[in-house]
Amino acid sequence: MTKPIQSFRDLVVWQKSVDLVTEIYRLSKKFPKDELFGLTSQIRRAAVSIPSNIAEGRGKSSKGEFQQFLHHSRGSLAEVETQIIIAQTLAI
């Protein structure tokens, strides 16, 4: 029997996205210092947006609003994926 969801913290997708943010921060510490205000900042902001949008959407009053925020979160995930590809291409 599964535990009822009472908070965004109970959502596995939120938990995994927080893990992703932690990993992005860990990896981006290794980026060159001249990328601090470029790719490093961009990828961190996009990563933080993922669990933030999930949490904000869960706090809304309607299912439709929650779904809209999940779509925003999914967009941020695509941003992170793109930025990882760019970092790999640049051999950062």
Mean pLDDT of 34-60: 95
Task: Write the pLDDT tens digit of every residue in 11-34.
Answer: 999 999 999 999 999 999 999 999
- pLDDT at residue 19, rounded to an integer: 98
Mean pLDDT of 41-52: 98
> Quick one: three-class SS letters along the chain?
CCCCCCCHHHCHHHHHHHHHHHHHHHHHCCCCHHHHHHHHHHHHHHHHHHHHHHHHHHCCCCHHHHHHHHHHHHHHHHHHHHHHHHHHHCCC
Most confident range (mean pLDDT) of 1-10, 29-38, 43-52 is 43-52
Structure tokens at 89: 């291409």
CATH topology of domain 11-89: de novo design (two linked rop proteins) (1.20.1440)
Contact 68, 58 (CB under 8 A): no
Q: What is the pTM of this model?
A: 0.91
Terminal-residue alpha carbon distance, the chain: 45
- pLDDT at residue 68, rounded to an integer: 97
Task: Write the pLDDT tens digit of every residue in 52-90.
Answer: 999 999 999 899 999 999 999 999 999 999 999 999 998
Kindly list the domain boundaries of the chain, sorted by start residue: 11-89
Structure tokens at 73: 């979160």
